[in-house]
Amino acid sequence: MLDIKKYAPMGWNSWDCYGAGVTEETVRKNAEFMSKNLLKYGWEYIVVDIQWAGPEAKTHEYIPFQELTMDEYGRLLPAENRFPSAAGGKGFKELADYVHSLGLKFGIHIMRGIPRRAVNLNLPVFGTSYTAKEIAEPNNVCEWNPDMYGLNPKHEGAKAYYDSIFALYKSWGVDFIKLDDICREMPRLADELELISDSLHSCGRDMVFSISPGPAVLEYSEFYKKNADMWRITDDFWDKWELLYAMFERAEKWSIHTGAGNWPDADMLPIGPILQDYDKANRTKFTEDEQITMMSLWSIFRSPLMIGGEMTGFDDFTMKLITNKEILKMHKNARHAHQVWRRKEDGGEHILWAAANAEGGYYAALFNAGELESEICLMLSEMEIYSSDVRVTELWNNEIKGIDMIEGDPAVYLKLKPHGAAVLDLREL
């Protein structure tokens, strides 16, 4: 069994920091950093995001109509000016090998469909007598990216094309596929998702299958479980409180669908230096409390954890945020996490998430989504713990919390800053 079945993936993705313009140098630098500093905490995936085939790609905006690099079968290849090791049609093979040599895993982003440029040139589909014009649908295009035509899922050449790209990725040694322009398009693109899933899962190499963009459609939860490993529950997530605030409700809805290889995905963590293409000094706008809130929610919810910032520029706080062993253990050990209640009280907006601990205890994550510091009193009975002989540890501060008795019932008091959080480990003694 792959670890992906047990644990939601942890890694790094180039988008938040480099947009469509990531380069080989940057990928290698971050892979080296992860291998040296983060691998021991469980971080292992290095994922190259969108438009790596575009020689002109630079920032978070897509360059329309550029001449994407392809092979003679219309399969995209890395732009050689950005990925020198791809020279001579070698694709991502050398880069993947290098990432593997560091003990890590290697992933790439792809768009559904076939390059429009392959259609304009009417290239043949590998291993078939079909051509690109026969399998492409001219009016089936992505709403926000200019590169591809969607395929006709009923045409057998479409399956052949997808088979051909996964064969290529297998030859490169790819471990993780982030497929874009499909997740939220249910039911319109359900047939195409099923086709791609079949193709990927029959290619002969285990790859994590991640689909974007969100928000995923709740009514399709079982369909996502059947066809993918992780699916985005939100549109692109950035360092804005409104988006983090909204994630509580998204996570609440999806919480019962998490676990055992099913990973609703709250998107990358925009921490440390981000948006490097626009402004070299740009850092996340989230406060430290907000970052703790984000990391606590993502971890108890067991979202995939994909770092979005340039890791070599991380400061101490950021490193502590992503290397807290107990929090990362919760990310593996939490079971059946869900939001227990949400209340306005004492000037704050308090939210309680609870989870069973796979070892017989409980986790409680407490959030203050309000604008004022305020006090939370957690009755242990709200966790359905009816003993007072309980050891309670706050995991961010590694601090044992005392038990107070309120009208004969055990309780824990906590003060939470605005947009702040605490995570408790509770064990009956």
Q: How far apart are CA 90 and CA 40, in angstroms?
A: 31
**Could you say which DSSP state residue 403 is in?**
P
Nearest distance, CB of residue 222 and its own copies, angstroms: 5
Work out which of 39, 338, 393, 403 binds its own copies, going by CB under 8 A: 338
Instruction: Indicate whether 204 belongs to the interface with its own copies (CB under 8 A).
Output: no
- The contact mask relative to its own copies for 208-227 (x = CB under 8 A, - = no) is --------------x--xx-
- The contact mask relative to its own copies for 52-71 (x = CB under 8 A, - = no) is ------------xx------
Nearest distance, CB of residue 355 and its own copies, angstroms: 7
SS3 category, 142: coil
Q: How far apart are CA 224 and CA 67, in angstroms?
A: 33
- The contact mask relative to its own copies for 380-409 (x = CB under 8 A, - = no) is -xxxx-x---------------------xx
Q: How far apart are CA 125 and CA 90, in angstroms?
A: 19
Instruction: Indicate whether 429 belongs to the interface with its own copies (CB under 8 A).
Output: no
Instruction: Indicate whether 1 belongs to the interface with its own copies (CB under 8 A).
Output: yes
Instruction: Indicate whether 119 belongs to the interface with its own copies (CB under 8 A).
Output: yes
Q: How far apart are CA 399 and CA 286, in angstroms?
A: 25
Strands (E) located in 359-406:
362-368, 374-379, 390-394, 399-401, 404-406
Q: How far apart are CA 375 and CA 416, in angstroms?
A: 6
Give the residue with the Cβ less far from its own copies, 93 or 335.
Answer: 335
DSSP per residue over 217-255, as a string?
-GGGHHHHHHH-SEEESSS---S-HHHHHHHHHHHHHHG
Would you give the end-to-end CA distance of the chain in angstroms?
Answer: 34
Number of residues located near its own copies, criterion CB under 8 A: 50
Q: How far apart are CA 214 and CA 221, in angstroms?
A: 13
Work out which of 129, 139, 281, 405 binds its own copies, going by CB under 8 A: 139
Work out which of 129, 143, 316, 429 binds its own copies, going by CB under 8 A: 143
- Which parts of 356-385 interact with its own copies (CB under 8 A)? 356, 358, 360, 381-384
Give the count of beta carbons closer than 10 Å to the beta carbon of residue 94: 17
Work out which of 37, 145, 171, 287 binds its own copies, going by CB under 8 A: 145
Nearest distance, CB of residue 98 and its own copies, angstroms: 31
Chain contacts with its own copies (rule: CB under 8 A): 1, 5-6, 64-65, 116, 119-120, 122, 133, 136-139, 141-146, 222, 225-226, 252, 255-256, 259-261, 335-343, 354-356, 358, 360, 381-384, 386, 408-409
